[in-house]
Amino acid sequence: MSARSSTCSRREATLGAREHPQIVAAFGGIYADARLQAYLDQTVKRLRPHSDRPDYGYRVTILNSPSINAFSLPGGYIYVTRGLLALANDSAEVAAVLAHEMAHITARHAIEREQQAQSAAIVSQVVSDVVGDAEAGAAAVAVTRGQLAQFSRQQELQADTIGIRTMARAGYDPDGAVTFLRALERQVNLQGKILNQTREAGRVDIFSTHPATPQRILAAESEARANSGSVQGERDGPGYL
């Protein structure tokens, strides 16, 4: 490992450790279920040798929240809510979620987003200071926010691609990624009807951070087909439920 990559690893571990307690507190604490925790740990153990960083350590935390969410922090921290685990229907869908979050970590997406956000802040500040025009500064902020949103969408597609390949190599049915995205799409449509398009204040869920857009579903379908082998991958719906 080079000195630079070693430094990045220490930085990532420090960042993840710093943010972990805040994440747990914000999502209702840890959902303590030994059987479920062991199941997720075993799934990650199975996925890890087939990931882009088989030497990387991961820590899965179940959050005691009914919201449907999964995300990760640098340093190997992966989070899934009990709401998301209730939405999943089989082992392949759970593996798809975990492999996707592992991909975010190994691709260093959180660090890249942080760097992009810092660059955006600098650009908007320079425009305001040099031009001396508040309106020009606001326009610069709007442009950079749009660039950040596009950057995040690209990261989601990349994490889907890496995650699907990882789960397929681990013996899971790669179509699990597709069926889970479709379940998300149905859920957000149902939620919109129930709430009449209103949202609970302060609530952050997977629909805003990992939107199941038609483009994303089509890309996942293509990647799943490309990674489907001659032997049917594992689904195990009854066992998971």
Radius of gyration in angstroms for the set of CA atoms belonging to the chain, rounded to a whole number: 19
Q: Are 80 and 97 in contact (CB under 8 A)?
A: yes
- pTM of the complete model: 0.80
Q: Are 210 and 156 in contact (CB under 8 A)?
A: yes
Backbone angles phi, psi at 146, to 5 degrees: -65, -40
Average pLDDT over residues 112-126: 50
pLDDT classification of 116: cutoffs 50, 70, 90: low
Which residue in the list 12, 19, 93, 101 is annotated as catalytic? Answer: 101
| Pairwise CA distance, residues 94 & 96, whole Å | 5
Tokens 């902020």, residue located: 141
pLDDT tens across 145-191, in order? 444 445 478 888 999 999 999 999 999 999 999 999 999 988 888 87
How buried is 38 (Cβ within 10 angstroms: 0-12 exposed, 13-18 middle, 19+ buried)? exposed
| Pairwise CA distance, residues 101 & 95, whole Å | 10
| Pairwise CA distance, residues 91 & 70, whole Å | 16
Q: What is the pLDDT of residue 51?
A: 95
pLDDT tens across 32-90, in order? 999 999 999 999 999 999 999 998 899 999 999 999 999 888 889 999 999 999 999 99
| Pairwise CA distance, residues 73 & 75, whole Å | 6
For residues 230 and 141, which has the higher predicted lDDT (pLDDT)? 230
101 is catalytic: yes
| Pairwise CA distance, residues 94 & 18, whole Å | 27
